[in-house]
Amino acid sequence: MHKSDAQKPHQQQQQQQQQPNPNCTLVVPPAPLTAAGLATPYRLKGSGDQGACHEANKAQAAFVEASVLDPATGALSVYHPLVIDDGSRPAAAPITPQLPAGAVVGVWFGFNGTTLTLDGDKAGCVNGTPDSPFGQFADCGAAPFFAAANAAVAAGRTTVPALGTAADGRPCPTTRDFAVVDQDQSDNLATSYRVLGDGRTAQNTAATTGLGGTVLTNASDNGLLDAFIDPALGCRPMTAPDLGDGGKAVPSLALNELQAAAHQGDPVALVPSNDPMVLAGDNPSRAKLVLYRLGVDQSPAASADGGAYCRSLAAVAPGRLKADQARFAAAPSPDPAAANSLFTFLAQRLQASFKNLNCAKLGAPALPLTVKQDGDKAVAATIG
């Protein structure tokens, strides 16, 4: 039997009050795949009884990203719907995108907390299975978007650019490269928002630069590849015009996945059965795996062997990390509180992923990797 809050030690109550609620709810606006729906802010609020959620709090921030296909021409574009606190107003009104006739729209979600639950107009949205959300990931209309985009690629209306060659002489990496993936690949976005001192948010565009404040970003994966790994290697991700920022060329999760599907060489990293986001409790869930893969343009029928995933991670990731150590060590850390450079960030991330996927128990060889910590911060790493 659980003690009531009044019976809990005072110190424990204080600790709970100081820790931000890791589980938040995002209210989807009406008709989220239309121009009006894209321009209507999503509203963030707390889940359960652990307190409110605030978009300005980095640990609770949710992110939304849309990719748009013109089925007639195959042209792709990107838009970043805004997230605001429930009951608040945006710091600047979102730009209403001009969508092509018959536009096919997909929307993806990322989250810096633990579990994001969708509410509101959820028709066509996938948050996991009933009573078992993915965690940081969700989508609306992703599978129909990828079906239409893949048809446009096959018909020659949409062109997916080649990866190019990185500064280390190898192909530029993708979101399905074992040198890039972690324990839950393809679950975050390249979206960013502008946060003002009063906690209000705005789309991060040229038009909102004058508002000041700071830029809020989603943690790891797609943003990590597009904004940190690619620049360090002299690579460029696939981009499309941003409908909310004057046509600026920007990447997106959908573009990352289309490029990975077209050009990633073997071994190809696909979401495995031991990915924490496709577990139901502590057990693999075929239903969640299928839904997740459809949301990121991956074949549900392809192998999901967690042991094979771990072995490929051990075979590929340390070698490329070592080869690019100097480049990554000279690059900024995506999270200065977690690591002092891109190199130590990636080393720590690889070590944690190997552990959290239970790779040792699945027969994968030990990583030739040692990470030195200063408290919770990675400050050095050695690769054997």
Q: What is the pLDDT of residues 170-220, one digit of tens each?
A: 999 999 999 999 999 999 999 999 999 999 999 999 999 999 999 999 977
- Residue 107 pLDDT level (bands cut at 50, 70, 90): very high
pLDDT on residue 16? 45
pLDDT on residue 2? 35
pLDDT on residue 268? 98
Kindly calculate the radius of gyration of the chain based on its CA atoms and give it in whole angstroms: 20
pLDDT on residue 18? 66
Closest C-alpha among 22, 37, 168 to residue 99: 37
pLDDT on residue 4? 34
Q: 231 preceded by cis ω (within 30°)?
A: no
pLDDT exceeds 80 at position 8:
no
pLDDT exceeds 90 at position 263:
yes
Instruction: Name the region of 174 (left: φ>0; alpha: ψ -120 to 50; beta: rest).
Output: beta
Mean pLDDT of 314-333: 98
Distance CA 126, CA 117 (A): 10
HSE-up of residue 354 (Cα within 13 Å, Cβ side): 25
- Residue 9 pLDDT level (bands cut at 50, 70, 90): very low
* Tokens standing for residue 8: 């809990």
pLDDT on residue 6? 37
pLDDT exceeds 80 at position 347:
yes
Closest C-alpha among 252, 248, 254 to residue 209: 248
pLDDT on residue 49? 82
Distance CA 175, CA 203 (A): 25
Number of Cβ within 10 Å of residue 168's Cβ equals 14
pLDDT exceeds 60 at position 115:
yes
DSSP assignment letter at 130: T
Distance CA 239, CA 190 (A): 11
Q: What is the pLDDT of residues 17-69, one digit of tens each?
A: 568 999 999 999 999 999 999 999 999 999 988 899 999 999 999 999 999 99
- Cα separations in angstroms, 331 against 88, 103, 302, 349: 37, 38, 35, 16
Closest C-alpha among 81, 102, 79 to residue 39: 81
DSSP assignment letter at 190: S
Residue identified by tokens 């509101």 is: 120
Percent above pLDDT 90 for the chain: 93
- Residue 14 pLDDT level (bands cut at 50, 70, 90): very low
Contact present, 314 and 292 (Cβ < 8 Å): no
Distance CA 370, CA 383 (A): 7
Distance CA 97, CA 243 (A): 5
Are β-strands 83-85 and 42-46 bridged in parallel, bridged antiparallel, or unpaired?
A: parallel
Number of Cβ within 10 Å of residue 10's Cβ equals 7
Mean pLDDT of 73-86: 98
Percent above pLDDT 70 for the chain: 95
Predicted TM-score of the model (pTM):
0.93
- Residue 250 pLDDT level (bands cut at 50, 70, 90): very high
pLDDT exceeds 80 at position 110:
yes
pLDDT on residue 3? 34
pLDDT exceeds 50 at position 111:
yes
Closest C-alpha among 5, 64, 62 to residue 39: 64
pLDDT on residue 11? 43
CA torsion angle for 292, 296, 300, 305 (degrees, to 10)?
-80
pLDDT on residue 5? 36
Any idea what the Cα angle at residue 142 is, between residues 152 and 144, rounded to 5°?
50
E strand spans, 265-335: 279-280, 283-284
Longest CA–CA span in the chain (Å) reads 67
Closest C-alpha among 181, 190, 42, 66 to residue 116: 42
Average pLDDT of every residue of the chain? 94
